[in-house]
Amino acid sequence: MIDFNKVAATWDANPKRVKLAHDVAEAMIRVLQPEQSMEALDFGCGTGLVTLRLQPLVRSITGVDSSPEMLAVLQDKVKRQGLTNVHTRLADFDKGEVPEGRFDLLVSSMTLHHVPDTAALLRLWFDLLVPGGLLGVADLDTEDGSFHGDNTGVFHLGFDRARIKKLLEDTGFHQVQATTAAAMKKEIAGGGEREFTVFLVTGRK
């Protein structure tokens, strides 16, 4: 599996990765319409590319990740920018570690395909939301494995939107909808470039 601790320091050096996070965050803002009264959680926040885009729009936001080095990069950004409403939590869902608190808004970008048990993670997210809370999940549409090249630690080659919507509904979410959040061109093994699409599926507890 990719060692996110080893790549944390250079994670933001990839302009396509930064643009993808920006596009996803903009889609989340457009669809979910964050409010200043909200306590938000970014699950699998990495270096905080989405976290910090949402930060000005909510009362507070907590970035949760299983990589301490990724969180260290985010913490450095928070310190340099003098932000007081951004918090970080180290938690590894695969080890049964669960972040504390309840939230009005929970978002996650490009994390779901790295987790074996999709349904279990959706149940956790449901439990972390207050009644009426909003969920926004962005991830790859179904693909053939070309996106990562080395698929070690990748448990899902994207997702079928209809299946994800049904999983959210089975978990208890309503007002479930899906839209295209972003498109990303990427070099693939064997040469050439291919476009991959990222969906945003949303729902309310």
Average pLDDT over residues 97-110: 92
In whole angstroms, what is the distance from residue 117 CA to residue 121 CA? 7
Average pLDDT over residues 52-66: 97
β pairing state of 129-140 and 174-187: unpaired
Task: Give residue 197's identity as a one-letter amino acid code.
Answer: T
For residue 83, pLDDT over 80 is answered with yes
In whole angstroms, what is the distance from residue 150 CA to residue 190 CA? 13
Q: What is the pLDDT of residue 164?
A: 94
| pLDDT tens by residue, 166-193 | 999 999 999 999 999 998 887 777 777 8
Please compute, for residue 88, the number of CA atoms within 13 A of its CA located in the half-sphere on the CB side: 23
Q: For all residues of the chain together, what is the average pLDDT?
A: 89
For residue 145, pLDDT over 60 is answered with no
For residue 115, pLDDT over 90 is answered with no
Measured in whole angstroms, how far is the alpha carbon of residue 164 from the centre of its chain? 15
Range of the domain at 95: 4-204
CATH number, domain of 182, equals 3.40.50.150
> Quick one: pLDDT band at residue 161, thresholds 50, 70, 90?
very high
Q: Report the domain count for the chain.
A: 1
> Quick one: pLDDT band at residue 74, thresholds 50, 70, 90?
very high
> Quick one: pLDDT band at residue 142, thresholds 50, 70, 90?
low
- Quick one: which H or E segment has residue 121? helix 118-128
In whole angstroms, what is the distance from residue 62 CA to residue 130 CA? 15
